[in-house]
């Protein structure tokens, strides 16, 4: 469903929300990025819809700050995952390392420096608590 001035459109669906990323052109020929978040209301068929528009001259600065924020969110997410107790220990195989593990030339999984630091930090914290 293309609207007037729409150059590109894509979407990302999750359980609760849908995000739309649209590149549009206004009447004067200026490009802008339109980001829309849509979520279903509890009572049924209606939706909450929020949007922001980032104009062409602001995109570079916007993306720099967005990338910083995403990097921090991902770092915190990975720290939370590492600190949370797991009921079942995931088996790793030397021939099939997890996507986060690096491999040596012979296919063995190696922990990255960041993973080692996280483990040491968690061990130190655990030792302090006991």
Dihedral sign from CA coordinates of 33, 15, 75, 109: negative
- Stated pTM of the model: 0.54
Domains with residue ranges and CATH for the chain = 1-59 (3.10.450.700), 94-130 (no CATH)
pLDDT band at 105, cuts 50/70/90? low
Q: What percent of the chain has pLDDT over 70?
A: 72
Higher pLDDT, 31 or 106: 31
CA distance 16 to 80: 22
Supply 40's token pair.
């279903």
Contact 2, 20 (CB under 8 A): no
Q: Name residue 102's beta-bridge partners.
A: 110
Torsions phi, psi for 89 (to 5 deg):
-80, 130
Helices (H), ranges, the chain: 59-83, 113-129
Dihedral sign from CA coordinates of 109, 114, 117, 123: negative
What was the pLDDT predicted at 86? Answer: 56
CA distance 45 to 89: 42
Mean pLDDT on 82-91: 58
Round to the nearest angstrom and report the end-to-end CA distance of the chain: 60
């Amino acid at each position: 469903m293309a609207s007037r001035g729409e150059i590109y459109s894509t979407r990302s669906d999750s359980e609760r929300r849908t995000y739309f990323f649209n590149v549009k052109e206004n009447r004067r020929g200026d490009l802008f990025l339109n980001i829309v978040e849509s979520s279903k209301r509890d009572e049924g068929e209606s939706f909450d819809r929020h949007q922001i528009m980032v104009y062409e001259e602001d995109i570079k600065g916007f993306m720099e700050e967005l990338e910083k924020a995403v990097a921090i969110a991902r770092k915190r997410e990975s720290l939370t995952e590492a600190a949370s107790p797991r009921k079942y220990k995931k088996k790793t195989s030397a021939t099939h390392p997890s996507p986060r593990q690096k491999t040596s030339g012979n296919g063995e999984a190696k922990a990255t420096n960041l993973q080692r630091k996280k483990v040491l930090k968690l061990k130190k914290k655990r030792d302090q608590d006991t």
